Amino acid sequence: MDSTATALQGVKVLELRARASAGFAGRLFVDAGAEVTTVSVPSPGAPSGHLLQYLERGKGSLAIDLGAAGAGDRLRSLAAEHDLLVTDLDPREIEHLGLQRAQGGRLRARVLITPFGMTGPYRDRPASPATILALSGHTFLLGEPGEAPLTLPGDYVGYQSGLYAYSAALAVLLESRRSGVAVARTVEVSELEALASLHQHTTVNYTYSGHIRIRKGNRWDGIHPITILPCADGWFGMCIVATFWENFARWLGPQWLTDPRFALVTDRVEHADELDAEIRAAIATQTKVALQEEGQGRQRVPVGAVRTPAEILDDPHLRERGFWREEAVEGRKVIFPSVPYRFVEGQAPSPVSASAIERPA
């Protein structure tokens, strides 16, 4: 077991889960070595099927009927036996159960992940990952122009909200340990705000220059070629920002370097259809892996094969890095993603006394 999986040893988390967001946060805690106990609550948005299998791995579970008399007292009492309470119940339920008042014992943070936050006019409105993606400005940017925009498969909203919640919860836990102040604080994460905070330049394009980003299918806004195109056995991806254009063109079409249609970034955007046709012709007879190996290995340009789900599960890089965790599901071996970072072993100096760590002024 690598030390990433024991980093949070001794930390106890109570996951009160009605949707996937708390489940993703709990997943991160388990993967870093915390002890997570889940109370699963039926709800229209409750994770199910294979997502649930992924989220539940390695967690303990308790059955508590939230409708039973004294459920709030029991949950608050249980929370006091944990360092963190992480929940994604809706705000009314949180208040009904008095979870925002949970305190005492070892509890240091009440982490409340809700669709819209604990305040505001939409506080009690229903939401799903698809509606949060729509409202946060993401959906508008995905898909083909002229066709319906696309939402994302899986649960991007839950994952990102869970990540924010995880970091903020640990920040509060760390603060408590460093300060010696043993009170529980409330950490609130709004899923809508989580997604609205994660655009690269959607809002600043508008506030800085009045430009409204629109969806462009498999093309990037303002730079080309950043796209995927068909090759002999599938599709091939490329991200040819200006820095890499010369190497890319020397590799696949040296004549493009003297073609005025492709001279500047703005020219390549203007003549994107023509450039795509030339690239398609250049890669049509080559396999995507051969293109990837040549493009990355020899030409040093940011390209890659468009992997199918089966191919990503068998990807040699991820296998070598030990990214997958194998477990039995429904009588067959299945692999799940593990935590996407790890502590590099064998290079760290000996621990110094924690109390000896110098504090910045």
Partner 1 sequence: MAEGPLAGIRVVDLTRVWAGPLGARILADLGAHVVKVEAPNGRGAARGATRGGQFAAGDPGDRPWNRQGSFNKLNRNKQSFVLNLKKPRAHELFLELVAQSDVVIENFSAGTMDDLGLGYQALAAANPSIVYLSMPGYGLTGPYRDYVAYGPSIEPMTGLAHLLGYGDGVPRVTSIALPDATAGTVAASAVMTALWRREVTGQGAFIDLSQHEGFIPFFAGELVAHQVEPDLPPISSNRHRVHAPHNIYRCAGGDDWIAIAARSEEEWAALSRFAGQHWVDDPRFATREARKANEDALDAAIEAWTAGREKIELGSMLQDAGVPAAAVLNAPELLSEPQLHARGFFVELDHPDVWPVSYPGTPVRIDGVGPQGWTVAPTLGQHNEAILGGLLGLSDAEIADLYAAGVTADRPNS
Minimum distance of partner 1 from residue 93's CB (angstroms): 15
Say whether residue 50 binds partner 1 (CB under 8 A). Answer: yes
Minimum distance of partner 1 from residue 256's CB (angstroms): 19
Say whether residue 280 binds partner 1 (CB under 8 A). Answer: no
Minimum distance of partner 1 from residue 22's CB (angstroms): 15
Length of the chain: 361
Minimum distance of partner 1 from residue 72's CB (angstroms): 20
Say whether residue 52 binds partner 1 (CB under 8 A). Answer: yes
Say whether residue 243 binds partner 1 (CB under 8 A). Answer: yes
Say whether residue 202 binds partner 1 (CB under 8 A). Answer: yes
Q: How far apart are CA 258 and CA 229, in angstroms?
A: 23
Q: Which range of residues in 49-57, 67-75, 87-95, 273-281 is near partner 1 by CB under 8 A?
A: 49-57
55 CB-contact burial (10 Å; exposed 0-12 / middle 13-18 / buried 19+): buried
Is the separation of the CB atoms in 94 and 23 below 8 Å? no
Minimum distance of partner 1 from residue 75's CB (angstroms): 20
Say whether residue 314 binds partner 1 (CB under 8 A). Answer: no
Q: How far apart are CA 73 and CA 102, in angstroms?
A: 9
Q: Read off the tokens for 268.
A: 């390549």
Q: Read off the tokens for 260.
A: 């005025």
Residues 92-111 that bind partner 1 (CB under 8 A): none
Say whether residue 269 binds partner 1 (CB under 8 A). Answer: no
What is the DSSP annotation of 9-29? TT-EEEEEESSHHHHHHHHHH
Q: Which amino acid, one-letter code, is at 197?
A: S
Minimum distance of partner 1 from residue 68's CB (angstroms): 21
Say whether residue 38 binds partner 1 (CB under 8 A). Answer: no
Say whether residue 284 binds partner 1 (CB under 8 A). Answer: no
Say whether residue 258 binds partner 1 (CB under 8 A). Answer: no
Out of 63, 69, 328, 356, the residue judged to bind partner 1 by CB under 8 A: 356
**What phi and psi, each to the nearest 5 degrees, are found at residue 107?**
-70, 130
Over the window 118 to 137, marking each residue x when it contacts partner 1 by CB under 8 A and - when it does not, the resulting string is: xxxxx--xxxxxxxxxxxxx
Say whether residue 194 binds partner 1 (CB under 8 A). Answer: yes
Out of 62, 142, 272, 290, the residue judged to bind partner 1 by CB under 8 A: 142
Q: Which range of residues in 67-75, 85-93, 218-226, 255-263 is near partner 1 by CB under 8 A?
A: 218-226
- Beta-carbon contacts of 36 under 8 Å, excluding residues fewer than 6 positions away, are 12, 13, 14, 15, 26, 29, 30, 58, 59, 60
**What phi and psi, each to the nearest 5 degrees, are found at residue 239?**
-130, 80
CA distances from 62 to 66, 75, 284, 358 (A): 12, 11, 56, 41
Say whether residue 51 binds partner 1 (CB under 8 A). Answer: yes
Q: Which range of residues in 58-66, 194-202, 253-261, 278-286 is near partner 1 by CB under 8 A?
A: 194-202
Out of 89, 99, 158, 256, the residue judged to bind partner 1 by CB under 8 A: 158
Out of 214, 277, 281, 284, the residue judged to bind partner 1 by CB under 8 A: 214
Out of 92, 96, 178, 298, the residue judged to bind partner 1 by CB under 8 A: 178
Q: Which of 104, 124, 103, 105 shows the shortest CA–CA distance to 115? A: 124
CA distances from 94 to 16, 158, 260, 320 (A): 10, 18, 62, 44
Q: Which is nearer to partner 1, 73 or 293 (CB)?
A: 293
Say whether residue 272 binds partner 1 (CB under 8 A). Answer: no
Say whether residue 87 binds partner 1 (CB under 8 A). Answer: no
Say whether residue 197 binds partner 1 (CB under 8 A). Answer: yes
The alpha-carbon radius of gyration of the chain (Å, integer) is 25
Query: CA angle, 275 as apex, 223 and 138 as ends, to 5°?
Result: 35
Minimum distance of partner 1 from residue 136's CB (angstroms): 7
**Which residue is associated with the tokens 């489940």?**
23
